[in-house]
Structure 1
Amino acid sequence: MTHPLDRPVWNALTGRQADLALREGDAVRLRPDVGVFVAGKDAGSTDDLQAICARYPGAGSLEAEGSPLAGWMPPGVAPTLNAVLAQMVATTVTSGPSVDWTALGEADAKDIYDLAMLTNPGPFRPRTFDFGGYIGVREQGRLIAMAGTRLRVEGFSEVSAVCTHPDHRGRGLASALMRVVIGHILDEGDACFLHAFADRAATISLYRSLGFEIRQRIVYTTFA
């Protein structure tokens, strides 16, 4: 496999986002305060993968279905999650309602983390917002919706951390924020990608309405 998105974690953490990575021989792991992702160079790097997972537990992988490291886990460790995701790509963005938004950063760290813990948009850690590109909607000072970016590989940037407070759902805030993030990525010259659980038809339909199409299936595995 040679496409950058076939191995998004390895290609991001040995490329554009190497500054967020810890390394153990032929294995890399995202800083634990930023996220969970780990990857090895190839099927021969399992010893290094095992070592880095032991040093920094709570890891997870994203690998193309059917590839040598898809579903790999350290020996004797049970998965905390083993799921198939739909990897989707967009090179354009559809039009839709706009929303008043603000850029989010260091000063918003607690609000970002609190909203993520409430809504569970995916693996999230106190410094996940270090991936950058975070924007949000506030009402009466309260952060009620947000979206951001995550992995960046050659030619592609991932839309992630899309969530809305339960009291404010149904207003189109997530879609509006996603359109802004997608637009920023496209303006930078990248295409966009994201991951959705493959069995969540409604979510995939929403992403299609924004301009995304399924590219391939990805195995997402997390372990203690």
Structure 2
Amino acid sequence: MRHILDRPIWSALDTVHADLAEGSERARRYPPSIVPFAAAADNTPESLEALEDLPEADETMLLVEAGPIAIPPGLVVVSEALAVQMVAERPHERIVDNRIQPLDQSDAEEMLALATLTKPGPFTLRAQSLGPFWGIKTEGRLIAMAGQRLRQTGFAELSGLCTHPEFQRRGLGTLLFRFVAGEIATQGETAYLHAYAINTPAIALYKSLGFRLRCEMNLRIVKRRA
């Protein structure tokens, strides 16, 4: 039996993020202005055909699944990678730290600039549509942030963790990681995350912070075949 996190994009768009979904009961995606994630409900020909119909000619979509990702004939793979999915082994304690503040839409451009600089993963001006974000500022300048991205019933993905290069190695990333994990646990949900399989230092850090490897994940970026 499949775990709800085996197809995390589909299960998010079929549950907590259903109000953001574009598509049908066969294939869905987030609005590209929020995040380029998409998924088919399963690997039946009908679902794969529906997935093929989702993108416009100039759009790419990112697919993430625990098993092999079936690609319909009308789509072509632009790039692919192996990732890992990690899940909190226990609920994290809630942290109170006056350096951490909630971010809102007025911070969106600065958040995008920080994400563009540090590359934590796909990020847009509308990232906060997926879940709350928090940050640390110095003299009004955003220097570190983290938040929630994919959400399913009982689960929330810790994502967008990044620190400006000038302020790294000061424990800010670890602090925000523990803070967001604590906020997720306070909601009664289990925190999880994704990391590239080759990023062994990050994986080791996440293990030290109470996360375990659940499974390997396949990642493919696709677009319409010319």
TM-score, with structure 1 as normaliser: 0.91
Task: Mark the runs of 5 or more structure 1 residues left unpaired by the alignment.
Answer: none
Q: Is the CA contact (8 Å cut-off) linking 1:93 and 1:210 kept in structure 2?
A: no
Distance in 2 separating the partners of 1:221 and 1:137: 32
Distance in 1 separating the partners of 2:31 and 2:58: 9
Distance in 2 separating the partners of 1:116 and 1:74: 32
Amino acid at match of 2:124: R
Q: Does 1:52 align with 2:54?
A: yes
Residue in structure 2 matched with residue 6 of structure 1 by the alignment: 6
Q: Is the CA contact (8 Å cut-off) linking 2:6 and 2:67 kept in structure 1?
A: no
Q: Is the CA contact (8 Å cut-off) linking 1:94 and 1:210 kept in structure 2?
A: no
Percent pairwise identity: 39
Residue in structure 1 matched with residue 173 of structure 2 by the alignment: 174
Distance in 1 separating the partners of 2:27 and 2:58: 12
Distance in 2 separating the partners of 1:20 and 1:207: 29
Q: What do the CA deviations read for 1:51-89 (whole angstroms, capped 9, x no partner)?
A: 0024772211111134xxx2x345365433211111000
Residue in structure 1 matched with residue 160 of structure 2 by the alignment: 161
Relative to structure 1, the CA distance from residue 112 to residue 162 in structure 2 (aligned partners, 3 Å threshold; closer, same or farther) is same
Relative to structure 1, the CA distance from residue 143 to residue 208 in structure 2 (aligned partners, 3 Å threshold; closer, same or farther) is same
Q: Does 1:144 align with 2:146?
A: no
Q: CA deviation at 1:7?
A: 1.0
Q: Is the CA contact (8 Å cut-off) linking 1:97 and 1:176 kept in structure 2?
A: no
Distance in 2 separating the partners of 1:128 and 1:89: 22
Relative to structure 1, the CA distance from residue 213 to residue 122 in structure 2 (aligned partners, 3 Å threshold; closer, same or farther) is same
Structure with greater proportional helix content: 1
Q: Pairwise mapping of residues 81-160 of structure 1 onto structure 2 (< 5 A)?
A: 81-90=79-88, 91-93=90-92, 100-160=99-159
Residue in structure 2 matched with residue 75 of structure 1 by the alignment: 73
Amino acid at match of 1:59: M
Residue in structure 1 matched with residue 65 of structure 2 by the alignment: 63
Task: Mark the runs of 5 or more structure 2 residues left unpaired by the alignment.
Answer: none
Q: CA deviation at 1:37?
A: 0.7
Cα RMSD (Å) of the superposition? 2.0
TM-score, with structure 2 as normaliser: 0.90
Choose 125-134 or 42-51, whichever is displaced more.
125-134
Q: Is the CA contact (8 Å cut-off) linking 1:53 and 1:74 kept in structure 2?
A: no
Q: Between Structure 1 and Structure 2, how many residues are aligned? A: 220
Amino acid at match of 1:169: Q
Q: Is the CA contact (8 Å cut-off) linking 2:93 and 2:182 kept in structure 1?
A: no
Residue in structure 2 matched with residue 34 of structure 1 by the alignment: 34
Distance in 1 separating the partners of 2:60 and 2:125: 14
